[in-house]
Each structure stands twice: as C-alpha cells, then as structure tokens.
Amino acid sequence: MLLAVSSALFLAVTAGVLVAVAGLLYWSLRKGRLLAASLVLFALAAVAFGLAYAAVDTGYRDADGSLDCYPYCTALQDATAFGLFLAPVVAVVAAFASVLGALVRRRASPRDRS
C-alpha cells in the first residue's frame, strides 16, 4: 500500500481538502483577492511539505515509517503521509486557480473592448 492510511480515508480527506480549497479560492475570486489567497495556500502547502520532509529526513519519531506502518500507524506517520502527498496537490490547485483567475479577469476586462 502506498500510504499508511486506508485508501477510503485518504480519498475522503483528499476530497474534503480539495473542496475546501476550491471553496476558498472561489470565495476569494468573488472578493477580488484570488492572488492573495493563492499565495497563502501555496505558502501553507510549502510549509506542510517542508515539515513533513524534514520529519522524514531526520527520522523524527519514526515519521519515515509512514509508508510501511499500516495498520498500526501513529498520528505523526499519518500526518507525514498527508503532508508529503496532499501538500503538492494543494499547491498545484492554488497555482492553477491563480492562472485561471488571471485569464478570466483579463478576458472580462472592459479596456479590451475598444
């Protein structure tokens, strides 16, 4: 098994996080703060990934055992697995949303309609 947690739990958490991220990005687009929200999400994802990577690299409390501990994983091992696999997904979604938001805003700009 690739992750230490069950597949159903991983899919449920991933779906929940992506729905929350999409909702936040949509709300920030409506408020005109998409770039700020995308930067914050990207920074949080980078910090989460960095912390998970540091825990695995240093062997902190057997965090590097998150790939082979199932079904007796600790909370740290589960968090490390989510940090390593879910943080890059959130970063890519935030980057994609900021590019898409810029394209939509540029297309809807009134100065382009001469």
Range(s) of the domain holding residue 27 = 7-107
Give me the mean pLDDT over the 108-113 stretch. Answer: 60
In the structure encoding, which two tokens stand for residue 107, read together? 């297309």
Choose the weakest-confidence range: 10-19, 55-64, 76-85, 102-111.
Answer: 102-111
How many domains are there within the chain? 1
Q: Is the pLDDT of residue 82 over 60?
A: yes
Q: Is the torsion defined by CA of 10, 13, 17, 18 positive or negative?
A: positive
Mean pLDDT in residue range 15-26: 91
In a domain, residue 91? The reply is: yes
Which residue in the block uniquely carries the two structure tokens 């890059």?
88
- The pLDDT score that the predictor gives to residue 5 is 56
Taking only the tens place, the pLDDT of each residue in 27-56 is 998 898 988 899 999 999 999 999 999 998
Return the DSSP state at 110: G
Residue 25 within any structural domain of the chain? yes
